[in-house]
Structure 1
Amino acid sequence: MDETEVVGLSVRPRRRGLPTLDIGPFFMFFGISGTDHGREARLQQRFEQEYFSNVVTLHLAAALSPGTYTLRGLPDEANKRGWTVGPEGGNPTGHLSADGLEELRAWMRRTPGQRDRRVRPESMSPPA
């Protein structure tokens, strides 16, 4: 794909779902044992929601087609999880940690001599 310029970005906090209760200790107290097959996936999902708590939308000069992208030219921390463009196309959205967001903001406000905000979108997966 051709390079495009990052015009701006918008940030909003990630919505948190309802807290989930871990009822395993309750059952263990009464002597009921078993294997919780989904616990690892729930813990991983909870970690990702808490650690990558910022939803960032990059506003690009050219719209992208639907799919998942890596934007070459962005800082590594900002590109760690990839960027998603919804079914209607347009601007990429990603989930960033506080460190990734700070690194991206520093990249956006570089000195005037370093003002090149161009990125090269590379598709990670075909559109759904």
Structure 2
Amino acid sequence: MHETEVVGLNVQRRRRGWPTLDIGPFFMFFGIAGTDHGREARMERRFEQEYFSNAVTLHLASALSPGTYALHGLPEEANKRGWTVGPQGGNPTGHLSADGLDELRGWMRRTPSQRDRRVRPERMLPPA
């Protein structure tokens, strides 16, 4: 794909849902055993919501078509999880950790001689 310039970024804290209560220890205390089949998926989802708590939208000079992209030229930490463009197209949105956000903000405010903020979007294939 063609290169485009990052014009700006918008950051919002990701909304947290209600805390999930793990009642497994309660049942174990009373000797009731069982298998919690969805626990691993819940714990993974909870980790992602807490660790990648910043929803970041990059404003690009040219709009992208809907899909998931890797934006080559961004810092490595900011580009780990990919960027998603909604069904109408436009600007990519990603979820970053605090470290990834700091690295991206540092990349955005480089010295005037290093002001080239160009990225090359590359469509990512969905996981099989």
TM-score, L = length of structure 1:
0.96
Deviation at 1:125, TM superposition (A): 2.9
Deviation at 1:72, TM superposition (A): 0.2
Q: Secondary structure at the match of 2:95?
A: strand
Q: Secondary structure at the match of 2:124?
A: strand
In structure 2, the partner of 1:19 is 19
In structure 2, the partner of 1:111 is 111
Q: Distance in 2 between matches of 1:96 and 1:105?
A: 12
AA matched with 2:52: F
Identity of aligned residues (%): 84
In structure 1, the partner of 2:61 is 61
**1:1-128 equivalences in 2 (<5 Å):** 1-125=1-125
Deviation at 1:65, TM superposition (A): 0.3
Runs of at least 5 residues in structure 1 that lack an aligned partner in the other structure: none
Q: For residues 80-128 of structure 1, what are the alpha-carbon distances to aligned partners after superposition, in whole Å with 9 as ceiling and x for unaligned?
A: 00000000100000000000000000000000100000000000037xx
- Between the two proteins, the alignment pairs up a number of residues equal to 126
- Root-mean-square deviation (CA, aligned residues, Å) is 0.9
Q: Distance in 2 between matches of 1:55 and 1:77?
A: 14
Q: Which runs of 4+ in 1 moved over 3 A?
A: none
Q: Secondary structure at the match of 1:58?
A: strand
Moved more, 38-47 or 1-10: 38-47
Runs of at least 5 residues in structure 2 that lack an aligned partner in the other structure: none
Deviation at 1:25, TM superposition (A): 1.2
Contact 1:67 1:125 in 2 (8 A): no
Q: Distance in 2 between matches of 1:121 and 1:45?
A: 27
Q: For residues 3-59 of structure 1, what are the alpha-carbon distances to aligned partners after superposition, in whole Å with 9 as ceiling and x for unaligned?
A: 000000000000001111101111112211011111111111111111100000000
Q: Distance in 1 between matches of 2:113 and 2:33?
A: 64
